[in-house]
């Protein structure tokens, strides 16, 4: 439609009103969704996409693009409208299909579904925390690849966050670390509309958010979130601040422009309704018909902006070309970091049979072993570095003074650690791992779930994996955690049975591209199996394999993972010495095993052999499928207790005698 239809509304306001009206029309058509926040944040988005955001719709994966994270994922229509205007492959037809099966415009933004969407967001607090990881990656890569002659990594991470984001705990962890590290290229716009689903924030939220951020080392500004010039001026200041992340508190009005629903939670999560849409468009000076209207000059503006941005990305390519010419070694490194390629041979350690080695210790040897070959591998622990054994050998730590290091100290912030690792994986260029005690995986589960949903190859190193942590007692003894992690789709859980299986597990984790891996490791030493006597640990690549008792017609199957493999083996050897055709199966990864062809699974677990015992110091849940109604489980169905590990083993039945007794009962049944 030509410009006459919009009266004397200034151009930038027309852009904002385009976002507002596209958002309310799409929600109306879908008969579901969230119009209020997009209408309230439209002015902030307009300033960002017309004046600042460095992205190229022609090249959504441009490595040096600014990252725009919509932390308030429910405001997805704000993002889709903006992407459409900028010229990403999000058409008006896609917007008309908002929230429909197979559309490019799902209810909440999803990273691999829509070009230009940087992350899957919706669980409040995750977006802003993930963005901290993106901003950290930017600094770490800048330190590695920028030179006086040329700057290859130089972009901002912009976040749009809501009241809900500011209330969530994970956000508090993440912004604390962002302030500590001085991630100055992180800019958060806080959509302070003082409304949430249940009403006004007066009901629940009276803290001084700005003061909290200031106290955490952030630079804080306040603006009228509908005043374009004020938003622009604050953004300029935020971009110039060189040692602090920035919060711009934007006082906004949810449902801006709606005569009946502005400033009301009724605009949060339901269509405005035809009458209210009519009234809103009239108030905004917008033609009531047709719906999904974009003024011609808005398209024209973004057409030229797109050309400018395309040129900017080509200019960046030329800088990269200069790097290739002038510093081929650095260019080769750049390519290695960006591809994250894992070579065919990995220098993983081998271990001497018969020794007792904790799998967390074996895991450390793996990290140290591949460190030089995989310089893009970075990570750290949530204040348990010495216990998790995940530090790189150089002893250097990532800090606001030194972003060239590889070991990250996350502090006691498990949830933010996982969200930040997601951000680093999304950013590209670095391969992150996160570590803590397995029992605290609960503290990071929402972010692990998002790693899996976003198909990010984050590696989780969980140590102290069972009651055998001993004296620390039930608070520190995971029982249900392995089963719970196994329940997350697309998360590969590997609980290796000895040091050699640990190296094989790391290899699987490193080679995984399309999802996270959780390595479940012991605190205590485990015997390194003699691989001359037993099959090679490379069989971990099949998820499960026969350790002992290869004959085709076993009488009983003993299944085990992790620290219980040696126990099952001892029981199996005793049974065999008694003439029972017992088979012992190491099952480090149920997910990997389930991906094997049925023929392989059937040779490992012959369907005809229904006499089965599983030994794992955790819940029976994940083994039900293998045990059927006749099988038995030697495991944990209650919380543990504070005592030395040997006493716990005796009390809870993790002894050869008990496993034999259970096996005999199964055989006799």
Ligand X SMILES: Cc1ncc(C[n+]2csc(CCOP(=O)(O)OP(=O)(O)O)c2C)c(N)n1
- Positions annotated as catalytic residues are 414
The answer to the question of residue 122 lying near ligand X (CB under 6 A) is yes
Question: Please, which of residues 255-294 interact with ligand X by CB under 6 A?
Answer: 268
* Contact pattern from residue 387 through residue 426 relative to ligand X, giving x for each residue in contact according to CB under 6 A and a dash for the rest: ----------------------------------------
Q: Give me the residue whose beta carbon is nearest to ligand X.
A: 164
Cβ nearer to ligand X, comparing 162 with 363: 162
Nearer to ligand X, 11 or 205 (CB): 205
Structure tokens at 323: 């790097």
Instruction: Provide the token pair at 484.
Output: 């719970």
71 makes contact with Mg ion (CB under 5 A): no
How many residues of this chain interact with ligand X, rule: CB under 6 A?
16
Provide, rounded to whole angstroms, the least separation between the CB of residue 601 and ligand X: 38
Q: Do the Cβ atoms of 517 and 378 come closer than 8 Å?
A: no
CA–CA separation, 74 and 164 (whole Å): 11
Q: Is 250 in the site for ligand X (CB under 6 A)?
A: no
Residue 617 site contact among Mg ion, ligand X, none (CB < 5 to 8 Å, cut-off depends on kind): none
In the bound complex, what is the minimum distance in angstroms from residue 75's beta carbon to ligand X? 6
Among 197, 307, 308, 412, interactor with ligand X by CB under 6 A: 197
Q: Which is nearer to ligand X, 209 or 288 (CB)?
A: 209
If you search the block for the tokens 């609980």, which residue do you land on? 495
Read off φ and ψ for residue 150, nearest 5 degrees.
-160, 145
Identify the CA nearest to 585 among candidates 612, 557, 611: 557
CB-neighbour burial class of residue 227 (10 A; exposed 0-12, middle 13-18, buried 19+): middle
For 244-298, the DSSP string reads S-EEEEEE--TTTT-TTTTTSGGGTSS---HHHHHHHHHHHT--SSSSS---HHH
Q: Which of 21, 130, 171, 193 is close enough to bind ligand X by CB under 6 A? A: 193
Nearer CB in complex with ligand X: 36/429: 36
Beta bridge partners of 224: 251
Partner from ligand X, Mg ion, none contacting 124, C-beta within 5 to 8 A by type = ligand X
Gap between the Cα atoms of 99 and 80, Å rounded: 11
Q: According to the binding rule CB under 6 A, does residue 226 interact with ligand X? A: no
Q: Which is nearer to ligand X, 110 or 163 (CB)?
A: 163
**Secondary structure element (H or E) that encloses residue 166, with its range:** helix 163-167
Stretch that binds ligand X, among 192-200, 216-224, 326-334, 505-513 (CB under 6 A): 192-200
Q: Please name the helix (run of DSSP H) or strand (run of DSSP E) that holds residue 557, with its range, or none.
A: strand 556-560
How far apart are CB 445 and ligand X at their closest, in Å? 12
Out of 33, 109, 116, 164, the only residue in the binding site for ligand X (CB under 6 A) is 164
**Smallest gap from residue 124 Cβ to ligand X (A):** 4
Q: Which of these segments, 20-28, 156-164, 487-495, 593-601, binds ligand X (CB under 6 A)? A: 156-164
Q: Are strands 246-251 and 219-224 parallel, antiparallel or unpaired?
A: parallel
**Can residue 466 be called a binding residue for ligand X (CB under 6 A)?**
no
Stretch that binds ligand X, among 118-126, 178-186, 337-345, 391-399 (CB under 6 A): 118-126
- Least gap, CB of 225 to ligand X (angstroms): 12
- Give residues 138-177 in contact with Mg ion (rule: CB under 5 A): 162-163
Helix orientation angle between 565-577 and 656-668, rounded to the nearest 10 degrees: 60
Q: Which two tokens stand for residue 338?
A: 């960006």
- Residue 265 Cβ vs ligand X, minimum distance, rounded to whole Å: 6
CA distance 599 to 538: 19
Q: Which stretch binds Mg ion (CB under 5 A): 189-197, 364-372, 441-449, 642-650?
A: 189-197
Distance CA 72, CA 108 (A): 9
Rounded Cα distance between 86 and 88, Å, is: 6
**Least separation, in Å, of the C-beta of 447 and ligand X?**
11
The contacts of residue 388 (CB under 8 Å, 6+ apart) are 360, 381, 435, 436, 437, 461, 463
Sheet strand arrangement including 459-463: 407-409, 377-381, 431-437, 459-463, 517-520, 492-494
Q: Select 40 or 470, whichever has its Cβ closest to Mg ion.
A: 40
* Contact residue for ligand X among 174, 223, 234, 254 (CB under 6 A): 254
Helical residues (DSSP H) of 430-480, grouped into ranges: 445-453
What is the secondary structure of 104-140 as a DSSP string? SS-SS--TTTSTT--S---STTHHHHHHHHHHHHHHH
Return the number of the residue (74 or 84) whose C-beta is nearest ligand X. Answer: 74
**Can you tell me the distance from the alpha carbon of 286 to that of 281, in angstroms, rounded to the nearest whole number?**
5
Residue 232 touches which of Mg ion, ligand X, none (CB < 5 to 8 A by kind)? none
Work out how close the CB of 19 gets to ligand X at its nearest, in angstroms, rounded to a whole number. 15
Contacts with Mg ion in 193-212 (CB under 5 A)?
A: 193, 195
* Residue 370 beta carbon to ligand X: minimum distance, rounded to whole angstroms: 36
Q: Footprint of ligand X on this chain (CB under 6 A)?
A: 36-37, 72, 74, 122-124, 162-164, 193, 195-197, 254, 268
Q: Which residues bind Mg ion (CB under 5 A)?
A: 162-163, 193, 195
């Amino acid at each position: 439609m030509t410009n006459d239809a919009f009266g004397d509304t200034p151009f930038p306001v027309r852009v904002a009103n385009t976002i507002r009206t596209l958002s309310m029309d799409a929600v109306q058509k879908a008969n579901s969704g969230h119009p209020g926040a997009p209408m309230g944040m439209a002015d902030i988005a307009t300033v960002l996409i017309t004046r600042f955001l460095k992205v190229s719709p022609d090249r959504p994966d441009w490595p040096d693009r600014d990252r725009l994270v919509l932390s308030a994922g429910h405001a997805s229509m704000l993002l889709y409208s903006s992407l459409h205007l900028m010229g990403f492959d999000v058409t008006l037809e896609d917007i008309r299909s908002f929230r429909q099966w197979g559309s490019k415009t799902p209810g909440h933004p999803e990273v691999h579904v829509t070009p230009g969407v940087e992350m899957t967001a919706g669980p409040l607090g995750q977006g802003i925390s993930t963005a901290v990881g993106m901003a950290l990656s930017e600094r770490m890569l800048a330190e590695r690849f920028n030179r006086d002659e040329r700057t290859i990594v130089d972009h901002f991470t912009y976040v749009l966050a809501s009241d809900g984001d500011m209330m969530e705990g994970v956000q508090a962890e993440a912004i604390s670390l962002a302030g500590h590290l001085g991630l100055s290229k992180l800019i958060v716009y806080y959509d302070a509309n003082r409304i949430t689903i249940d009403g006004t924030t007066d009901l629940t939220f009276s803290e001084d958010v700005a003061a909290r951020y200031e106290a955490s080392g952030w630079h804080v500004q306040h603006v009228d979130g509908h005043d374009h010039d004020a938003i622009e001026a604050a953004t300029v200041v935020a971009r110039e601040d060189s040692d602090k992340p920035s919060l711009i508190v934007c006082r906004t009005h949810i449902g801006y422009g709606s005569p009946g629903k502005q400033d009301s939670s009724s605009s949060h999560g339901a269509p405005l309704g035809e009458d209210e849409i009519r009234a809103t468009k009239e108030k905004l000076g917008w033609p009531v018909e047709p719906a999904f209207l974009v003024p011609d000059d808005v398209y024209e503006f973004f057409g030229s902006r797109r050309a400018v941005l395309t040129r900017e990305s080509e200019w960046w390519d030329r800088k990269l070309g200069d790097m290739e010419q002038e510093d081929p070694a650095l260019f080769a490194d750049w390519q290695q970091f960006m591809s994250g390629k894992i070579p065919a041979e990995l220098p993983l350690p081998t271990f001497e049979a018969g020794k007792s080695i904790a799998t967390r210790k074996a895991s450390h040897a793996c990290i140290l072993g591949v460190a030089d070959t995989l310089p893009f591998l970075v990570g750290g622990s949530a204040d348990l570095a010495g216990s998790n054994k995940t530090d790189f050998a150089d002893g250097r730590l990532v800090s606001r003074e030194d972003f060239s290091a590889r070991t990250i100290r996350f502090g006691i912030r498990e949830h933010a650690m996982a969200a930040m690792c997601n951000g680093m994986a999304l950013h590209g260029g670095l391969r992150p791992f996160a570590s803590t005690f397995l029992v605290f995986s609960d503290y990071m589960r929402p972010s692990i779930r998002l790693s899996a949903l976003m198909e990010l190859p984050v590696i989780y190193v969980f140590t102290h994996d069972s009651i055998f942590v001993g004296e620390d007692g039930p608070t520190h003894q995971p029982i249900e955690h392995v089963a719970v992690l196994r329940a997350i789709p697309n998360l590969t859980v590997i609980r290796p049975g000895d040091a050699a299986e640990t190296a094989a597990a790391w290899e699987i984790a490193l080679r995984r591209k399309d999802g996270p891996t959780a390595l479940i490791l012991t605190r205590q030493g485990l015997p390194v199996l003699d691989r001359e006597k037993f099959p090679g640990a490379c069989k971990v690549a099949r998820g499960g394999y026969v350790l002992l008792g290869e004959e085709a017609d076993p009488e009983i199957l003993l299944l085990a993972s992790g620290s219980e493999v040696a126990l099952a083996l001892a029981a199996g050897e005793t049974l065999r010495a008694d003439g029972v055709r017992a088979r012992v199966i190491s099952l480090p990864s149920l997910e990997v095993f389930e991906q094997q062809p049925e023929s392989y699974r059937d040779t490992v677990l012959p369907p005809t052999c229904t006499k089965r015992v599983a030994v794992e110091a955790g819940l029976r849940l994940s083994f039900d499928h293998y045990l059927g109604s006749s099988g038995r489980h030697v495991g944990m169905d209650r919380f543990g207790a504070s005592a030395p590990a040997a006493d716990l083993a005796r009390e809870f039945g993790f002894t050869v005698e008990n496993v034999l007794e259970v096996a005999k009962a199964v055989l006799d049944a």
